[in-house]
Structure 1
Amino acid sequence: MLSELVFTLVGVAFGIVSGLVPGMHVNTLAAILLGIFYKYDFPGIPLAYFVIGMSVANAFSAFIPSIFLGAPDESTVLSVAPGHRMLKKGKGYEALALTVLGGAGGFLALIIALPLLITAVPFIYTAIRQYIQYILLLTVMFLVWKEERKLWAAFVFLLSSVFGIVSMNSNINSSFLLLPVLSGLFGLSTLVISYFTDSKIPVQRVKFRIKYKKYIPATVLGLFSGLIAGILPGIGTSQSAIIAQQLGRIRGPKKFMVVLGSIAVTDIMLSILAIYLVGNPRSGGAVAIQDFLGSKMSLSGVLAFMAAGLVSAVIAAYFTLKLGQSFGNLVSRVNYRQIVILAAVFLLSVIYAFSGPLGVLISITGAAIGIIPNLVGVKKSLLLGCLIVPTVLYFFGVSIYFV
């Protein structure tokens, strides 16, 4: 067990660092590990624990660049707008703390619910997997219907949908495609708006009181949404967060940040537990773990992985909060417009490194589209049409590819 613990801790270190760098996705790192596993005949079990530690830690630390720099990945993309609003009020660190609360609380809720999930998930999975596209369609219709400017809402959703489909037909590696798409729609667009509307960021408060009981419903809702994303095929954290936002009637950025933190962490664990629950892994990291195991996951394996995940969550939560304080101090001391420029240059550089000039073009196009909701007064979550429509079309058996 000592080797498993060591590999878990090393994975946590890698996960925290990778979470701070947009585009360095755990699925990509897991794919590299698979290559090492097959080429050098490396023992698989320690690598499985490494992936668990890395995945859980990444789910926590990835909110730091999303909130403070406007540089999201797929699991944190919806935190950009509410996180940035809180940042401009001196509450950026509080926003991060709420995601940590959601992640830690969601993991504890998952542990409590595990016996029920082991019994119920296989039946739920069989019952609703064929209706996913209809659930998403109803969610989108409700999302548009809620807006006062319904025509603009529909336009933004459809425009982002077309943008997503066209982007997916580019020759960019699918492992890196979401980086320019989501960074453009949510990250760069937020930075552009901020550059022209904000000249400074206030000192970030690091002392505040959080009433934990107030956020229990949001944490449980995040677990439910993480279950959707972690178990059902084709559903990511962003789509499940939209469903949670509508069904749970989440009001205010604070509760929503808790929901997002809970979804991010529980989705990671449930995508791995899906190997045992439904016989299929639901993420790149989970696929790697299944290969490392070389056999079916046992119940004892589930419990051991949960223990490794819990250790990872505790350590990652601590270091995420510590790093968040440093980021909060940095953004409040430097001229904010300079930070915006540096963040945009950094983000575009990362996009260029992973997806080339075409990725930069896609991200700039996405930024132009992402500004529209701010100009016309509709929610930026409508921009997730870029992910939702391709998912719906996939379930209807319609190809989104031109060739």
Structure 2
Amino acid sequence: MIGGILIGAAIGVVLGTISGCTPGIHSNTMAGILLGVHPALLVLFGPAVFATSVTATLITHTFLDAVPSTFLGVPDPDTAISVLPAHDLCMKGLGEEAVRISALGSAAGAAFGLVLFPLFFFLLPPLQPYLDWWIGLLLLTVTGMLVVRSEAPEWAAVVFIASGVLGSFSLAYSYLSWEVLPGGSPLLLPLLTGLFGLPVLMKGAGGSIPEQIYRGIRMERREIAGAAAAGTVAGAIVGWMPGFSNATANAVLASFISYTRHGRGYILATSAANTANAFLGIAALYALSRARNGAMAAIATDELPPLAGIMLAACIAALAAYPLTILVSKGSRYLAALNVRRLNFSVILFLVVLTALVTGPFGLFILALATAIGSVPPMVSVQRVFCMGAIMVPIICWSILGIPLF
């Protein structure tokens, strides 16, 4: 049993590192690949290896996904908004600091997630029917706060509604897209890449990456603790709620932590939310038999292995992923020699081709619409957070009106 857990954790750390460092690739994609080779893993190693490898992939990915977000401005679907302050620090020559802050947040999210795990596992299942309904009102309140506090409330509402309509349309007609790999909604790739990724890449196509210098993490301990706690709570909540993703947690956090004025704190909080969400998603799977993400859905295809083995693999992955993230961040010092125009064009081309392969013509259509909407906020002095209507509006409709997400 222990041997299978260790083998699965090692496989997951390798795959999670690859998926985390590759722009546009989600942990669900690697979960789908593992699901495809599931029979071979069963024959070679036994059932425990598959579940632990998927779990370790998910946890490792939450650490390493800060790399393409910071240095290339390409969002992971789970942490779309955090790309903005992270990439901004990179443009100031502080990209390595941004990645280290993200790694610190993920480590805090893993630690706090373990502490909260028993509470969620034993106490929340009886309250689930009530939680499902109230979450829609919470999101409406958060949205109202964001719109009222924005510099241009009318435009903020327009961007939020337009992205919400696009998100609802994408979910309603998701069957028109190709489903090359199982797990999660494939249209999240073109939807969030268009809203948060391509506009940033196209805007910076003619720029250059400045020399990267690491001078330490410039955050006070109190700020680190506060951001880690806020991120863990947000990640824990969305990790438990059906239909939610870390993108929702990012939007909720944006109403409390300004990603323009407190960028470092926001990076840390969103990273903590991302990893805490992964840990609490495991609790939801075992306590409620509900899969909160594609990785958990892949695990649920078989009889669930013992919870202790899954949690051990998750902890091993977190312990390995933190130093790996720090190691990868040091490579940023060589980025100044790159041709940014050619690099950004290559990444844009890669994302378009990846969208075409994974989602087909309909995915490309969604990508084009999302890019058009995602280009509007900077033109009208509105924060890009309002593009999160693509995620929040469908969840509000599901929670309050009972309209299904899929």
Normalized against structure 1, the TM-score is what? 0.89
Q: State the match for 2:31 in structure 1.
A: 30
Q: Point out the more displaced range, 248-257 or 97-106.
A: 248-257
Describe the shift of the 1:122–1:73 C-alpha distance in structure 2 as closer, same or farther (beyond 3 A). Answer: same
Deviations 1:78-104 (A, max 9, x none): 122111211111111211111110000
More moved, 61-70 vs 240-249: 240-249
1:262 aligns with 2:272: yes
For 2:9, the aligned partner's letter is T
Counterpart of 2:14 in structure 1: which amino acid?
A: A
- Rounded to whole Å, the distance in 2 between the matches of 1:205 and 1:124 is 49
Query: Which amino acid letter does the alignment assign opposite residue 96 of structure 1?
Result: V
- Counterpart among 215, 223, 236 of residue 224 in structure 2: 215
Identity, % of aligned positions: 29
In 2 relative to 1, CA 41–121 (structure 1 residues): closer, same or farther, beyond 3 Å? same
Would you say how many aligned residue pairs link Structure 1 and Structure 2?
A: 393
Q: Deviations over 1:99-131 (max 9, x none)?
A: 110000111122233343344333553442221
Query: How many Å apart are 1:364 and its aligned residue?
Result: 2.9
- Aligned twin of 1:180: 190
Could you tell me how far apart the structure 2 residues matched to 1:311 and 1:400 are?
34
Structure 2: any 5+ residue segments left out of the alignment?
180-184
Q: How does 1:2-401 map to 2 (within 5 A)?
A: 2-37=3-38, 42=43, 43-168=46-171, 169=173, 171-173=176-178, 175-195=185-205, 199-210=207-218, 211-247=220-256, 251-292=261-302, 294-295=303-304, 301-326=306-331, 328-395=332-399, 396-398=401-403
Distance in 2 (alpha carbons) for counterparts of 1:380 and 1:337:
23
Aligned equivalents of 2:403 and 2:143: distance in 1? 18
Per-residue CA deviation, residues 300-336 of structure 1 (Å, 9 max, x unaligned), is x44443332121112112112222222x234322233
Per the alignment, in what secondary structure is the counterpart of residue 275 of structure 1? helix
Does the 8 A contact of 1:4 with 1:46 survive in 2?
Answer: yes
What is the CA deviation profile of residues 126-179 of structure 1, one whole-angstrom value per residue up to 9, with x for unaligned ones?
Answer: 442221211111111111111121111111111112222333325114642111
Answer whether contact 2:212 2:333 (CA < 8 A) is retained: yes
- Name the aligned partner's letter for residue 341 of structure 2: R
The 1-side partners of 2:36 and 2:105 are apart by 34
Give the alignment's TM-score, normalised by structure 2. Answer: 0.89
Instruction: Output the aligned Cα RMSD.
Output: 2.4
Tell me: CA distance 1:124–1:203, structure 2 relative to 1, closer, same or farther (3 Å): farther
Letter in 2 for 1:331: L
Distance change in 2, residues 1:340/1:186 (3 Å): same
Contact 2:250 2:270 in 1 (8 A): yes
Q: How many angstroms apart in 2 are the aligned matches of 1:57 and 1:373?
A: 32
